[in-house]
Structure 1
Amino acid sequence: MPPTVTILQPRLRLDDPHDCTDANDVLAVFDAIFDGLVRYGRIGGFVSGLANEWQVSADARHWTFTLREGLTFHDGSPCDAQAVCLSLRRMARPDKGHTLGAPGVWHQYLGDAVIEATDRLTVQIHLSKPIADLLDILVYGYVVSPSALDRYESGDTTLPVGTGPYRVTDVVEGQEIRLQRFDGWHGVAPANDSICFKLEPDAAKRLALLQSGKAQVANSLDFRASKALEDDGGFTRIVSLVPVAIIYLFNAARGPLADPRIRKALNLAVDRQTLIANVVHGAAQPLTGFVSPVHFGSMLPTDAGPDLETARRLIVEAGYADGLVIEVDCPTRLPDEAAALTAAVAEQLSAIGVSLNVHLHEDREAYAHRVRLSKVRDMCVFDSSPLSTFRVLAEKIDARVEGSWWLGFHNGEVETLLDEARRTTDVAAREDIYRQAYQKLQADPAWFYLYNPLRVTGLSGSRPNWRMRSDGVLDVTALPAFGLRESQL
């Protein structure tokens, strides 16, 4: 029997697939078990999932998806258009799509949509407003067997039944999830017959287990310690960009950061490279815009280093020639380096006469609720995680929506561009619109832009051509075939 491939992760959960998450470890498990109508491509964009083709109307309001013939769930039942619609309607409910601090994420896009099966293989989605980027939402529209929905409604998430490349065979709750390759999957068969996601919170132990041959894949390794893998030809160390933006949200509704000159000054004053070196030991890439360089319509970082002269001039023009004190809310985790980061930022901002008064928060979930309710002082440490330029603009920057993470920022020109993008179905034209929005949000920053983390993944064996998927999620269908190392024999 072929060996089981062990994949070590710092977090391991079997959540409800219709609740919104951007946690890469959770999504790796979801993508192994479930399909949506589309999937992320290995080098970006979207590829066929359950649907082998789709069309959108010229006004971006009416979408038609044609399913593959012969789709089946892991329980042997057929996956047809009715089954797909059941999952999409459940995903669209206001009580679903819940993420940390923000309920009904998917409801805001699909809540008033008409989702219908017009025949056995055709799903139609009729939107009340144009969404040319609907695939950004539907890639998370995981389709669950109707036989499993009652269990999910009761809160039991331990027996998932999807159509994905692997089916669950055993779950040791909170410890490991064992899966077997599903021969009925529509895609190219994964190279490995069976895999096991295993929890190991300690990064040093993940590295040691990989090096000993007791695991074949180890995710989120320590950036510095994992360099030992480069000295051993029996392993591969992959460093990949995480599209999560580590930022400070500005309270632009009131206080000093309502003034765009102060927002601009802070972004000009910070030395991102020094922050990255001192706070996360090199495990990040400078972020100079509101989304990462792998986001649709973004641009490569243009971090020329701090411009203290311009930053000081803006502070003086804003009326703070004698100094400015900014009140900062800071969690103690997520990001885990938040307190150290804030101390380092404070040291740098002192050069332009700005000081930070820091208020620490230990309860991370309560902290997220405070931010959602706009109970923020002048600014707060946060992250922005959706891999969707459309979603970031719609949920966090559009003043007309006042989304969960919107804190008073308003730029009418950016909102006009968002409206144009919503109805532009031509991909190249829409990308250019987002690029214009990106440039405007560099000139008038919505947030304090800092960095995108880098994640290290270790693989057993020499794999010079293997790369992490561009969304930062481990795609188990892309893993190479693993054999037993001598230490396992």
Structure 2
Amino acid sequence: MKLDSLKVAQSSINIGDPHICSDSLNRNSLISAIYEPLIERKGPGVFYPSLARSWSIESNGLTWGFKLREGVSFHNGDKFSSADVVASLKRIVDPSIGGAFGTQGVYASYIGGARFEAPRKDTVKITTAEPMADLLDLLSEMPFAPKDELDKISREYIGTGPYYVGSKTRGEIVLERNRDHWGKSAFVDQVSVIEERKSKIRSEMVLERDVNIGAFIDYNDTEAHRKSEKTLLYSLKSSLCIIFMMNALNGPCSDQRIRQALNYGLDVDEVIKKVKIGQATRLNGYLTPHHFGSNPQTEPYPYDPERAKTLLREAGYDTGLKLTIDLPTEMPDEALLLGEMMKEYYGKIGIDIDLVSYRDRPAYAEMVRDKRIHDLCCFDSSPLSTFRVLREKIHSKHKGPWWEGYSNSEVDGMIDQAQRTFDDKKREELYRQIFQKIRDDAPWVFLYRPTYFWALSRELADWKPTSTGLLSLAE
């Protein structure tokens, strides 16, 4: 990249506490520039060294050893050591840290009972309470800070990353090149990230050359860039799953036939065409190709209203059925439109739909977490970790935060088996079998993964975000 500096416009620059579990791409783009994990996820099931230069797992399947990279310093000059890793890990699993949109206690549910040790300055040992073959998936999400600065971590962002925080105001955060970084080369000397909530204005800022990158531009705001000789567009099929989770604890959706009927009875291709203007890709199950163990051989549910009607009759609803769908007004922003289309399509197969909307998104997330939904609820499944999705939304024994009553003892057993399977190829095959079974059981109405757009100045012809949608600022 030939530029000395970059200006980026995105809808939020709020970092908050970096140890809080969140899948916000805006937030995680900033965190990944400032902080680093022990290991870095490079693709589905693919991990590279970061602050840890190597790792191993003992034969008991419980104890992991990590050799840390030498010569690494934090932005404040403190030397990075195993004591910092242990201190951060203990804080990350502390239930008092809280969460975002119902994620409090998520990491504690996995490794809250683990033992973290620092036998040497360059060595960390993690001993989990149970075998956890996908531990690297979790660790790739966890940033590390100096042990003596943890009490200030939600205000002062001190990491080891390729950029440090030069300044922060209410509407802008300025990142400066870390010239003492151990490895990665920052693309530019300075990155100014500006908060602008409206997509249309972010788009105009690129057109007017006020910024170089406009992140997550709505498709409706991309046309000017298609015609412009000054700007470019980059698009990416995302890892975000837009779904409707069903109440399988009680009510009609506890019956597999009803759940399947709701999938057969909705023309998802037409939903994508009308609601997303074609800018989304249909899901064939509960994951995307960005996820480890997604099964490309699995067929999506076809639109088959007659099959849906047959399933409803078999379930005893030949004279009609009434369901209530919960909808947030944001995240996803199109939830109300989706609800209206579902009401229309389900009416054609004899299902009368009531729609209930909720403006308070954090409260909506807590309602879903507390399993107080009606029959269906609109949600977005955002974790990149297949292991997390299965534990938090599918496994009936764990009853995770976003589990809504689905139960299949065979699926539970296969998830448990995968957790104990350290051979990546064998675990991936197990996940692919699980993928097919979950598709067939239909605990969710599987909709789509949206396409994301970035508006770019022409100088960034060679730039692209990471494969999962984060700002790429170093390599």
TM over 0.5: yes
Residue 111 of structure 1 pairs with residue 112 of structure 2: yes
Cα 1:59–1:456 change in 2 (3 A) is farther
Q: Distance in 1 between matches of 2:369 and 2:51?
A: 35
> In the alignment, which residue of structure 1 is the partner of 2:243?
247
Residue 309 of structure 1 pairs with residue 306 of structure 2: yes
> In the alignment, which residue of structure 1 is the partner of 2:286?
290
Q: Distance in 2 between matches of 1:415 and 1:234?
A: 53
Aligned ranges for residues 53-202 of structure 1 at < 5 Å? Answer: 53-96=54-97, 98-152=99-153, 157-173=154-170, 175-202=171-198
Residue 404 of structure 1 pairs with residue 409 of structure 2: no
> In the alignment, which residue of structure 2 is the partner of 1:468?
465
Q: Distance in 1 between matches of 2:230 and 2:426?
A: 45
Q: State the shift of 1:236 in Å.
A: 2.6
Q: State the shift of 1:463 in Å.
A: 5.2
Q: Say if 2:45 and 2:424, in contact at 8 Å, map to a contact too.
A: no
Q: State the shift of 1:171 in Å.
A: 0.2
Q: Say if 1:31 and 1:475, in contact at 8 Å, map to a contact too.
A: no
**Secondary structure in 2 aligned to 1:220?**
coil
The match for 1:207 among 183, 194, 203 is: 203
Q: Number of paired residues? A: 473
Q: Say if 2:329 and 2:361, in contact at 8 Å, map to a contact too.
A: yes
Amino acid at match of 2:49: S
| Bigger Cα displacement from structure 2, 290-299 vs 93-102 | 93-102
Amino acid at match of 2:58: S
**Secondary structure in 2 aligned to 1:8?**
strand
Residue 319 of structure 1 pairs with residue 316 of structure 2: yes
Cα 1:357–1:172 change in 2 (3 A) is same
Q: Distance in 2 between matches of 1:149 and 1:256?
A: 48
Q: Distance in 2 between matches of 1:309 and 1:280?
A: 26
Cα 1:46–1:97 change in 2 (3 A) is farther
The match for 1:443 among 433, 440, 443 is: 440
TM-score (norm 1): 0.93
1:403-429 Cα offsets, whole Å, 9 max, x none, are: 111111101111111111101111111
Cα 1:59–1:467 change in 2 (3 A) is farther
> In the alignment, which residue of structure 2 is the partner of 1:47?
48
Q: Distance in 2 between matches of 1:30 and 1:89?
A: 19
Q: Say if 1:59 and 1:423, in contact at 8 Å, map to a contact too.
A: no
Aligned ranges for residues 385-424 of structure 1 at < 5 Å? Answer: 385-424=382-421
> In the alignment, which residue of structure 2 is the partner of 1:486?
none
Q: Say if 2:178 and 2:186, in contact at 8 Å, map to a contact too.
A: no
Q: State the shift of 1:249 in Å.
A: 1.1
Q: State the shift of 1:38 in Å.
A: 1.1
Cα 1:44–1:469 change in 2 (3 A) is farther
Q: Distance in 1 between matches of 2:272 and 2:21?
A: 29
Q: State the shift of 1:44 in Å.
A: 7.2
Please give the root-mean-square deviation of Cα atoms over the aligned residues, in Å: 1.8
1:16-71 Cα offsets, whole Å, 9 max, x none, are: 11100000000000000001101232787322110111112344321111111111
**Secondary structure in 2 aligned to 1:335?**
coil
Q: State the shift of 1:139 in Å.
A: 1.0
> In the alignment, which residue of structure 2 is the partner of 1:337?
334
1:409-460 Cα offsets, whole Å, 9 max, x none, are: 1011111111111011111111111000000011111211111111101222
> In the alignment, which residue of structure 2 is the partner of 1:485?
none
1:225-273 Cα offsets, whole Å, 9 max, x none, are: 3143233344331111221211111100110000000001111121111
Q: Distance in 2 between matches of 1:385 and 1:352?
A: 31
Cα 1:44–1:192 change in 2 (3 A) is farther
**Secondary structure in 2 aligned to 1:476?**
coil
Q: Distance in 2 between matches of 1:366 and 1:324?
A: 28
| Bigger Cα displacement from structure 2, 378-387 vs 142-151 | 142-151
Percent identity, aligned pairs only, is 35
Cα 1:148–1:435 change in 2 (3 A) is same
**Secondary structure in 1 aligned to 2:348?**
helix
Amino acid at match of 1:228: A
| Bigger Cα displacement from structure 2, 300-309 vs 17-26 | 300-309
Residue 366 of structure 1 pairs with residue 363 of structure 2: yes
Q: State the shift of 1:302 in Å.
A: 3.5
Cα 1:475–1:312 change in 2 (3 A) is same
> In the alignment, which residue of structure 1 is the partner of 2:220?
224
Q: Distance in 2 between matches of 1:180 and 1:48?
A: 24
Q: Distance in 2 between matches of 1:65 and 1:102?
A: 27
| Bigger Cα displacement from structure 2, 250-259 vs 357-366 | 357-366
Q: State the shift of 1:97 in Å.
A: 5.6
Q: Say if 1:236 and 1:462, in contact at 8 Å, map to a contact too.
A: no
TM-score (norm 2): 0.96
Q: Which runs of 5+ in 2 are unaligned?
A: none
Residue 380 of structure 1 pairs with residue 381 of structure 2: no
| Bigger Cα displacement from structure 2, 159-168 vs 219-228 | 219-228
| Bigger Cα displacement from structure 2, 67-76 vs 350-359 | 350-359
Q: Distance in 2 between matches of 1:56 and 1:473?
A: 30
Cα 1:122–1:231 change in 2 (3 A) is same
**Secondary structure in 2 aligned to 1:395?**
helix
Amino acid at match of 1:123: V
Amino acid at match of 1:188: K
Q: Distance in 2 between matches of 1:389 and 1:167?
A: 31
**Secondary structure in 2 aligned to 1:95?**
helix
Q: Distance in 1 between matches of 2:182 and 2:345?
A: 53
**Secondary structure in 1 aligned to 2:222?**
helix
Amino acid at match of 2:213: V
| Bigger Cα displacement from structure 2, 227-236 vs 276-285 | 227-236
Q: Say if 1:91 and 1:106, in contact at 8 Å, map to a contact too.
A: yes
Q: Distance in 2 between matches of 1:312 and 1:324?
A: 11
Residue 22 of structure 1 pairs with residue 40 of structure 2: no
Residue 266 of structure 1 pairs with residue 262 of structure 2: yes
Residue 277 of structure 1 pairs with residue 273 of structure 2: yes
Amino acid at match of 1:275: V
Q: State the shift of 1:120 in Å.
A: 0.9
